[in-house]
Amino acid sequence: MKTTTPRLLGLCTLLAAIGAHAAEMPRIVAKDGRHALMVDGAPFLVLGGQAHNSSNYPAALPKVWSALADAHANTLEIPVAWEQVEAKEGQFDFSYVDTLVREARKHDKRLVLLWFGTWKNTGAAYTPEWVKFNNARFPRMIDQDGKNSYCLSPFGQDTLAADKKAFVALMEHIKRIDGEDKTIIMVQVENEVGTYGLARDHGKRAQAAFRQPVPAAVLARQKPAAGRPAKGSWAEVYGDYADQYFHTWAIASYIEEIAKAGQAVYGLPMFVNNALRDPLAEPAPPWKKDFASGGPTHDVLGIYQAAAPHIAFSGPDIYMPESNKVSAILRQFQTRDNALMVPEMGNGASYARYLYQIIGKGAIGVAPFGIDYAEYSNYPLGAKFTDKRMVEPFAKIYGVFAPMQRQWARWAFEGRTYGVAEGDDRAAQNVEMKGWKATLSFREFQFGEREYLKDKNEFMAGTEQPSGGVAIAQVGPDEFVLVGQQIRVKFSGSGANAGKPSMFARVEEGRFDADGKWLMERNWNGDQTDYGVNLPATPTVLKVRLGTY
Ligand code: DGJ
């Protein structure tokens, strides 16, 4: 057992009293297959927004902060580009990072920095010019015909050394300016890595490595293809998957070197993000030029875990608006070994309802992309609007979660939370909880049942597009907190309560304050509860208690 001497205790008390102690280091913790991001020593829910790619300059920040404030976001994800911090080799300029951190504190936001280094959306665009145009020193991948690819090779030793050096310098700088406050809570290493159009490098070093036996750590986490030997070369063990798996291992190993070196100087949690492959093609078929080979796609998370232990998780960048795809993606990226965090998501209005599903499933965070009033829209991936109309669908939901985010993150870590978004099919859904089932339906009028309507195809105004969702926390055996919109929720006994008649004991509308205290505004009864609870278009927080008789 650890003991603290009285002298040390005295020192701690003194430091605490004068506020001179450093905040606790952010870290990701796991328990029973669930995860939490600890910030200042307690679970934290990232209600994030990602800035546009070119907003990583002091002059661009005002339009980022105003969008973030309107969104009620608590965290900004924003790039730090290798080209901007080391335009001349060996000369570092972190003045942008200084401005960013200073302004983040002023705006009361946390930061997730995105290291745009060797690879940004697989390409070399964010490397400094002295890297971009020196193939001899910083080799590109070579294809089967001996031609250069656009993508830098993960076997480029000088490229790795140079990227690592710049990243370490960044982490040293962060430690210097933020080691006390911890405004920066995570770092993404590279951005959407992998290679389009070419499965792996065929350069000399790559070819030699490809002939080597698959490392034991990879074998332990990535099963051989059906009917293949348990060990041997990549081609022997993985057959049609060999090129993709080998490239995945090569890129993950490269990223590991960078993350490990960065964490050795300042140990922030680090992660990677992923340009997704088709989530519905399962089991995942071999690569056919249909996604970036080598990226941390759901089918190769095991290879990343084996090769890059300093990477905490891979996060899906969700630009697939279909609800069945989103559900599959969330399932694939939330595993015992991979904390769910959605570092990017389209900022079109149809994505907003997924916040309920993502937050309810116990993600450590989410960040729609392009929460930034720069006059740029990435439509059709995201919204056409670049003003308040873009932020509004997310803002109203973040607005209700913001004051209770610490409380919610605790419940999620305890495994009490569930999340649902309205499907494209508009069909009802069930959620099984402990002793209770919630039946969720959409497009309902707030009063009465559908069969009472003369026209069975008459629907509530404003529900033309799917926009409903709810996040539920079971805070006691018969007690629930609901945060949702455009949804009807009915409860019935299940498990230990199966078959028992039940009714609402109380349905309070209100909100949680920042200390986790419930502030009741009114009690719903009568028409407001006779047909389940019908949450309006405005996100609403209810505290529901049920009973059986
Ligand atoms: C995913 C990338 O990670 C982002 O940086 C950005 O390029 C979006 N795609 C598209 O806007």
Please indicate whether residue 344, judged by its CB atom, sits closer than 6 Å to ligand 1: yes
The fraction of the chain above a pLDDT of 70, given in percent, is 96
Lowest mean pLDDT, pick from 14-18, 483-487, 526-530: 14-18
Q: What is the mean pLDDT of residues 414-440?
A: 98
Q: What is the pLDDT of residue 21?
A: 61
- Cα 43 to Cα 27, 343, 362, 406, 408: the distances in Å are 9, 18, 11, 6, 9
pLDDT digits (tens, 9 = 90+) for 49-72: 999 999 999 999 999 999 999 999
What separation, in Å, do the N-terminal and C-terminal C-alpha atoms of the chain show? 50
Q: What is the pLDDT, as a whole number, of residue 513? A: 85
| pLDDT, tens digit, 9 for 90 and up, residues 285-342 | 999 999 999 999 999 999 999 999 999 999 999 999 999 999 999 999 999 999 999 9
pLDDT-based confidence at residue 8 (cuts at 50, 70, 90): very low
Q: What pLDDT score does 149 carry?
A: 97
Residue of 120, 318, 344, 345 to mutate, ligand 1, most atoms within 8 A of C-beta? 344
> Looking at the DSSP assignment, which residues form a beta bridge with residue 191?
120
The DSSP bridge partners found for residue 41 are none
Residue whose structure tokens are 């000369």 = 91
| Residue 18 pLDDT class (50, 70, 90 cuts) | very low
Q: How confident is the model at residue 225 (pLDDT cuts 50, 70, 90)?
A: confident
Does residue 478 contact residue 436 with C-beta atoms inside 8 Å? Answer: yes
Helices (H), 382-425: 388-401, 405-413
Long-range contacts of 431-435 (CB under 8 A, 24+ apart): 431/472, 432/494, 432/495, 433/472, 433/474, 433/480, 433/494, 434/474, 434/477, 434/495, 435/477, 435/478, 435/493, 435/494, 435/495, 435/496, 435/497
297 close to ligand 1 (CB < 6 Angstrom): no
Q: How many A from CA of 121 to the centre of ligand 1?
A: 7
Protein residue whose Cα sits closest to atom 10 of ligand 1: 378
Distance (Å) from CA 191 to ligand 1 centroid = 8
Average pLDDT over residues 195-220: 98
How many angstroms does the Cα of residue 123 sit away from the middle of ligand 1? Answer: 12
pLDDT of residue 516: 82
Which pLDDT does position 25 carry in this prediction?
Answer: 97
